[in-house]
């Protein structure tokens, strides 16, 4: 049945797609029917990929997609498909890889032209409506692509075949396994360390992204080898981010990136995944250094998360937009007059600064100098009062739009962060918030299968392998925080579903999409990191952690095999797959800590909680426990008649520790 000649996005659940529902463009959501329309009409496909919080997506929408003249050309020459990259990262990965293969810089909005079979033959990112920025105008682009399609159809089809084959080989192919060893982590960390900005943190140059997988690599390198330079690179990066304009000093939370090399001018969108990963990094940094900055930012960011990102059902929304009333950063920036009308100017200047750097067209951005940061940590009550007044004054402003869709994998990251920070800082309310989010996502399952996205009553099935891995890791983190055995069983069930629907034919890895996903041109493996670790990295971590937790030797072998093959696939391109290198390091030497303690007056458990380690799985038991007693490596049952802590690395366990000071020293030893 032919699709009607009209915009079909109003019935979609994605807030991003609904943002385009009133465009005069005859948008279709991604579907087999839309590609069939292209086949039937002989038109090429224009696919536009973006997300709700994307500033340049909004710019292109206002300039071109809301323009009747542009829409007329699009409707006449193309079948037009809109994709929310957060709903369909599987589609986004394919066409982003195709753009990279063309030698183009990636980004969003992603604008790709496809054959009716979904094979890419040309593309780019943002195109202005009129020629500028050294770019052709969008109508010129549309007309040139149409002419090429009509005049050089055979040549374009051959190019598209070659390009999709290249992408298939890059994202989907198998590879021989590589023997795992610590050298891969060491080499990657040395390479990353050489690219770091020693003064301002992050990678040298601009723009600056948090790039959590890289920072994670450096932290693991320090844990494994006591490389002080790698530790310092992480701490310098965090301190600079948490002082700069990229951090929201009034409301808490981190923006997606800074456009400059100073962490000063943010791209103001706030993403759930960035802040979830920031919380874990700050938690590790606080445990290692005791610096108040890290604890303060954990508390502020979780306050923001619970205040502004939690949906009515307890899970977390995907993002906050960069724009308010069509202006980037309007909600977050302040004029001097606005500040002075709200708080004592001298008080503000004691702790904060305002900056209007070259090229920034909005109101000034709040940041802290190093001295102001230190003063604010020494006078926390005074700063809290100041921030409270500014936050109250900010509340009536036009708020940035919130993308309310609940993504299972991003929520999994947030749940892990809340559970770990709740343990470390003794905040049971944070652990309860993590439990509520986990329960909501599990309740959305249909026929025992997770959705990828939830928005009100709408569900997007099937989930991606990253969703199962992230939620399995979340279940394990909740078990560590609560000791509730149901979480262990749930993690096991999620990993069983992962095997059932995503495992490859050889049993050596997993695809990003399920075996019954019928609308993808390719089944990719999900090896490539985005702003978060890849699906493959999260799968290896979940399998290793669950095998360590339960003593499941068969699963430990499976995880090691998956890690070996993943390492083989990325042997020549580790920088884009740092998450896999990090996960392989865990597979080589999984760490397990079993602590038996008295619940009335625990002496050892608080020490374990205060010393988080991303390589470690913790099992905390009460003296006298008989049910669900964990096995140490070698099927050794630890005695539970007295307090003691057992730290095992790989198959080797150290002698039990009974003194809190000795345990603290052991867990902090590198």
3-state DSSP assignment of residue 657: strand
pLDDT of residue 133: 75
In CATH terms, the fold of domain 9-171 is Glutaredoxin (3.40.30)
CA dist 125 and 140 (Å) reads: 15
pLDDT of residue 370: 95
What are the DSSP calls for 228-275, one per residue?
HHHHHHHHHHHHHHHHSTTB-TTT--B-SEESSTTS-SEE--EEHHHH
**Sites in the chain below the pLDDT cut of 70:** 1, 627-629, 670
pLDDT of residue 574: 76
How is residue 252 written in tokens? Answer: 């808490």
CA dist 42 and 49 (Å) reads: 22
pLDDT of residue 441: 98
pLDDT of residue 172: 85
Per domain, the residue ranges of the chain are 9-171, 591-668
The C-alpha R_g of the chain, in whole angstroms, comes to 25
Query: Could you tell me the sign of the dihedral formed by the alpha carbons of 617, 413, 257, 123, in that order?
Result: positive
- 491 CB-contact burial (10 Å; exposed 0-12 / middle 13-18 / buried 19+): buried
pLDDT of residue 190: 97
**Bridge partners for 285 per DSSP:** none
Q: Are 545 and 473 in contact (CB under 8 A)?
A: yes
pLDDT of residue 1: 64
Q: Are 316 and 305 in contact (CB under 8 A)?
A: yes
pLDDT of residue 134: 77
CA-to-CA dists, residue 310 to 2, 216, 318, 319, 667, angstroms: 40, 26, 10, 11, 34
pLDDT of residue 629: 66
pLDDT of residue 628: 63
């Amino acid at each position: 049945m032919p699709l009607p000649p009209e915009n079909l996005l109003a019935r979609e659940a994605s807030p991003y797609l609904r943002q385009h529902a009133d465009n005069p463009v005859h948008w279709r959501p991604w579907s087999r029917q839309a590609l069939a329309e292209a086949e039937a009409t002989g038109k090429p496909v224009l696919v536009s990929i973006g997300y709700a919080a994307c500033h340049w997506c909004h710019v292109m929408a206002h300039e071109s997609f809301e323009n009747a003249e542009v829409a007329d050309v699009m409707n006449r020459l193309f079948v037009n498909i809109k994709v929310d990259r957060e709903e369909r990262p599987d589609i986004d990965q394919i066409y982003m890889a195709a753009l990279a293969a063309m030698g183009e810089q990636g980004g969003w909005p992603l604008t790709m032209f496809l054959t009716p079979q979904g094979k890419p033959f040309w593309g780019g990112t943002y195109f202005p409506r009129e020629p500028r920025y050294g770019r052709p105008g969008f109508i010129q682009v549309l007309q040139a692509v149409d002419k090429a399609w009509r005049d050089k159809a055979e040549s374009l089809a051959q190019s598209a075949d070659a390009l999709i084959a290249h992408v298939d080989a890059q994202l989907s192919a198998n590879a021989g396994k590589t023997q795992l060893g610590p050298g891969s982590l060491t080499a990657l960390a040395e390479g990353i360390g050489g690219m770091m900005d020693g003064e301002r943190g992050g990678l040298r140059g601009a723009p600056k992204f948090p790039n959590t997988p890289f920072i994670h690599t450096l932290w693991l390198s320090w844990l494994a080898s006591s490389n002080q330079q790698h530790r310092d690179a992480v701490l310098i990066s965090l301190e600079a981010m948490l002082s700069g304009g990229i951090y929201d000093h009034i409301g808490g939370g981190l923006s997606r990136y800074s456009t400059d090399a100073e962490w000063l001018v943010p791209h103001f969108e706030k993403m759930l995944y960035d802040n979830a990963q920031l919380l874990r990094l700050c938690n590790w940094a606080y445990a290692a250094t005791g610096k108040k900055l890290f604890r303060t930012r954990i508390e502020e960011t979780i306050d923001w998360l619970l205040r502004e990102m939690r949906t009515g059902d307890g899970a977390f929304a995907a993002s906050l937009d960069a724009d308010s009333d069509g202006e980037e950063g309007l909600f977050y920036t302040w004029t001097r007059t606005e500040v002075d009308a709200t708080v004592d100017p001298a008080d503000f200047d004691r702790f904060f600064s305002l900056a209007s750097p070259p090229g920034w067209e909005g109101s000034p951005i709040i940041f802290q100098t190093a001295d102001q940061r230190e003063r604010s940590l020494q006078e926390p009550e005074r700063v809290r009062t100041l921030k409270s007044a500014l936050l109250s004054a900010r509340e009536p402003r036009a708020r940035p739009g919130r993308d309310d869709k609940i993504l299972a994998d991003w929520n999994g990251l947030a749940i892990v962060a809340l559970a770990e920070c709740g343990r470390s800082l003794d905040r049971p309310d944070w652990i309860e918030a993590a439990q509520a989010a986990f329960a909501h996502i599990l309740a959305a399952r249909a026929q025992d299968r997770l959705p990828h996205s939830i928005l009100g009553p709408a569900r997007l099935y099937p989930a991606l392998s990253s969703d199962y891995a992230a939620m399995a890791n979340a279940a394990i983190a909740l078990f560590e925080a609560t000791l509730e055995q149901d979480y262990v069983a749930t993690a096991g069930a999620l990993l069983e579903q992962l095997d059932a629907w995503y495992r490859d034919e050889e049993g050596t890895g997993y695809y990003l999409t399920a075996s019954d996903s019928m609308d993808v041109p390719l089944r990719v493996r999900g090896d490539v990191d985005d702003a978060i670790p890849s699906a493959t990295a999260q799968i290896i971590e979940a399998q290793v952690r669950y095998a360590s937790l339960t003593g499941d030797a068969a699963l430990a072998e499976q995880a090691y095999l998956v890690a070996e093959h993943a390492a083989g696939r990325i042997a020549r391109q580790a920088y884009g797959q740092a998450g896999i290198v990090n996960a392989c390091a865990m597979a080589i030497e999984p760490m397990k800590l079993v602590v038996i303690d008295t619940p009335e007056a625990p002496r050892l458990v608080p020490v374990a909680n205060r010393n988080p380690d991303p390589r470690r799985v913790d099992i905390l038991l009460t003296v006298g426990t008989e049910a669900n007693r964990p096995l140490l490596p070698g099927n050794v049952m630890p005695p539970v008649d007295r307090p003691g802590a057992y730290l095992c690395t790989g198959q080797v366990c150290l002698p039990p520790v009974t003194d809190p000071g000795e345990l603290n020293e052991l867990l902090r030893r590198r």
